[in-house]
Amino acid sequence: MAGIETEARLVAAVSSIDLAAVVAAAPAIEVWCQHLDPIQFGSNTGWTHPATAIERGASGTLINHTEHKVSHEHVAALLEQVPDGFSVCACAADIDEARALAALEPTFVAIEPPELIGGDVSVTSADPSIVSGTAAAVREVSQAVGILCGAGVKTGADVAKAIDLGTSGVLLASGVTKADDPQAALHDLVSKL
């Protein structure tokens, strides 16, 4: 991001409509889709094919976010369809769902309790045991799957706590998009790393 020097991996997850514009405007930033569908070309109004997203510069995607839940079969089919090296972050609402998604071997599993998404209290403070419990559950299933947490994450202290609880990072939106000064919010988020 402009003006932010960090070793942290920063990814922008954007609407498929905005992919090409964001990739063109910020070529140094890794850009993912907010959702993809495991479809073939043909009659698929309202669905997004992975190849379309890749052609527009996406290098990964979120899937199963609480705002767009899908079946685990949908996630598995998507994982089979995307090419090697394409990142997939499967979102989970609880530890059991995180464990089940980890068995599919996405790049990341992100724990995000729905009731905390977009709120003012970070999951790392409101329910640290769901973060550490998810980390333990995912590790029981796979050593390869990365672990993220989200929901209410807004500060560098939240990020540091998430890492202390066993994650490799965070997933967030409103902590930056709703901030009065998004640039300052980004600086704070990476300040404790």
| Average pLDDT of the chain, as a whole number | 92
Structural domains of the chain sorted by starting position, each given as residue range(s) with its CATH number in brackets: 11-190 (3.20.20.70)
67 included as an active-site residue: no
**Mean pLDDT of the 75-99 span:** 98
In the predicted model, what is the mean pLDDT of residues 70-97? 97
* Catalytic position from the list 35, 49, 97, 112: 112
* Secondary structure (H, E, C), 118-167: CCCCCHHHHCHHHHHHHHHHHHHHCCCCEEEEECCCCCHHHHHHHHHCCC
Nearest partner of 68 among 98, 97, 50, 91, judged by Cα: 91
Q: Strand, coil or helix: what is 43?
A: coil
Over range 175-191, report the average pLDDT.
Answer: 85
Catalytic-role residue among 35, 49, 65, 97: 65
Q: What is the per-residue pLDDT across 121-157, written as a single tens digit (0 to 9) for each? A: 999 999 999 999 999 999 999 999 999 999 989 899 9
pTM for this entry = 0.93
Can you give the pLDDT at residue 4? Answer: 65
pLDDT digits (tens, 9 = 90+) for 36-56: 999 998 888 889 999 999 999
**Confidence at residue 3, expressed as pLDDT on a 0 to 100 scale:** 59
User: Which pLDDT band, with edges at 50, 70 and 90, does 1 fall under?
Assistant: very low
Region 101-126 average pLDDT = 94
Known catalytic membership, residue 74: no
DSSP 32: E
pLDDT for residue 32 is more than 70: yes
Name the pairing type of β-strands 30-33 and 11-14: parallel
**Helical H runs in the chain?**
19-25, 50-55, 72-81, 95-102, 123-126, 128-141, 156-164, 174-177, 182-190
CA distance to 22, 29, 179, 185, per residue, from 2 (Å): 13, 10, 17, 13
